[in-house]
């Protein structure tokens, strides 16, 4: 997927795919990955002790992200997926140059999904402060279509709502309305809303409903997860794991409190548990 994946060494079929996020949001990407490549083993790391990345400086996000990737590389992964928009937006070049295996970020696949969905070229992207401040989506969309118009808004309250499981009640609707009113005030012609944070797919229904109410017409809502899974399939080329048995998912976290409750919501399937790691 464009500059976000580079093949730097031959990968062996039996090795796992590595995925990391600042927390549990990246499990929405694992969900898409398990659907697209069911035979693959996956090692997931959530840096739950240091979440959120979205409010931290680019330098700190880069440092934390490099530590997460190092952990995955130590587990001999054949591919790294950065299932965190904030890390992708702020640390991708550093992660690519530090990795002997291909690295796939969230931004370029998300930009491609939004451009495929829009009919009038007016795209709204919502994400963390760190993602929006980086301008990474503006660059990714501009590189693909110079005529597209991107409007970006940081929505920091959406991550705690998704984690709390308040995903389609009156509180979620109020918060969504407040943010999306601001977004559509900047560009009333937005026809595609890009969820530029891996937590937000949990809030897809309420965001789609409120966006349509504000715009008074349907608004396409897209995210990076499926496009990242497709990019993973492309990056594996002729080397995907073709065994019939379901691939194993091994999860690690830097803090395991509340994960038994939170993680299955994001993954969409039961989970055997997380191993605690100290990076």
Whether 22 contacts 87, CB under 8 Å: yes
Identity of the residue, 197 or 236, whose beta carbon is nearer to ligand DGL in the bound complex: 197
Q: What is the closest distance, in whole angstroms, from the C-beta atom of residue 74 to ligand DGL in the complex?
A: 22
Burial class (CB in 10 A: 0-12, 13-18, 19+), 122: middle
Q: What is the closest distance, in whole angstroms, from the C-beta atom of residue 246 to ligand DGL in the complex?
A: 26
d(CA 103, CA 81) in angstroms, rounded, equals 6
Whether 103 contacts 80, CB under 8 Å: yes
Q: What share of the chain is helix, strand, coil (3-state, %, to 5)?
A: 45, 15, 35
Active-site residue identified among 68, 155, 197, 251: 197
Phi–psi pair at 269, nearest 5 degrees: -155, 160
Identity of the residue, 13 or 60, whose beta carbon is nearer to ligand DGL in the bound complex: 60
Identity of the residue, 101 or 158, whose beta carbon is nearer to ligand DGL in the bound complex: 158
C-alpha distances (whole Å) from 28 to each of 67, 68, 74, 266 are 21, 18, 23, 5
C-alpha distances (whole Å) from 127 to each of 196, 235, 245 are 5, 26, 36
Q: What is the closest distance, in whole angstroms, from the C-beta atom of residue 85 to ligand DGL in the complex?
A: 4
Q: What is the closest distance, in whole angstroms, from the C-beta atom of residue 228 to ligand DGL in the complex?
A: 11
Active site residue 68: no
Active-site residue identified among 68, 84, 155, 251: 84
Active site residue 197: yes
Identity of the residue, 51 or 111, whose beta carbon is nearer to ligand DGL in the bound complex: 51
d(CA 144, CA 221) in angstroms, rounded, equals 19
Burial class (CB in 10 A: 0-12, 13-18, 19+), 75: middle
Residue with tokens 């409010």: 55
Interface contacts to ligand DGL, rule CB under 6 A: 21-23, 25, 51-54, 84-86, 128, 131, 159, 197-199
Which residue is nearest to ligand DGL, using beta carbons?
Answer: 54
Identity of the residue, 15 or 199, whose beta carbon is nearer to ligand DGL in the bound complex: 199
d(CA 91, CA 83) in angstroms, rounded, equals 12
Q: What is the closest distance, in whole angstroms, from the C-beta atom of residue 238 to ligand DGL in the complex?
A: 31
Catalytic residue ranges: 84, 197
């Amino acid at each position: 997927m464009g500059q976000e994946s580079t093949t730097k060494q031959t990968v062996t079929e039996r090795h796992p795919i590595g995925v990391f996020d600042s927390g549990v949001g990246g499990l929405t990407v694992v969900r898409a990955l398990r659907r697209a490549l069911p035979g693959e083993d996956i090692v997931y790391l959530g840096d739950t002790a240091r979440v959120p990345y979205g409010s931290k400086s680019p330098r700190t996000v880069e440092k934390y992200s490099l530590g997460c990737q190092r952990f995955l590389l130590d587990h001999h992964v054949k591919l790294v997926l950065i299932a965190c928009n904030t890390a992708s937006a702020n640390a991708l070049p550093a992660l690519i140059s530090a990795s002997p295996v291909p690295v796939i970020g969230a931004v370029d696949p998300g930009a491609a999904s939004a451009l495929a969905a829009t009919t009038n070229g007016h795209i709204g992207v919502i994400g963390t402060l760190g993602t929006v401040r980086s301008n990474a989506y503006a660059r990714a969309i501009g590189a693909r279509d110079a005529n597209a118009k991107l409007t970006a808004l940081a929505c920091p309250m959406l991550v705690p709502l998704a984690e709390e499981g308040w995903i389609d009640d009156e509180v979620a609707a109020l918060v969504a309305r407040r943010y999306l009113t601001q977004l559509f005030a900047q560009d009333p012609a937005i026809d595609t809303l890009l969820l530029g944070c891996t937590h937000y797919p949990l809030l897809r229904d309420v965001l789609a409903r409120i966006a349509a109410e504000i715009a008074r017409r349907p608004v396409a809502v897209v995210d990076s997860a499926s496009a990242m899974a497709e990019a993973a399939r492309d990056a594996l080329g002729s080397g995907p794991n073709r065994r019939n048995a379901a691939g194993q998912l091994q999860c690690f976290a830097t803090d395991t409190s509340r994960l038994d409750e939170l993680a299955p919501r994001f993954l969409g399937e039961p989970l055997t548990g997380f191993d605690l790691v100290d990076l």
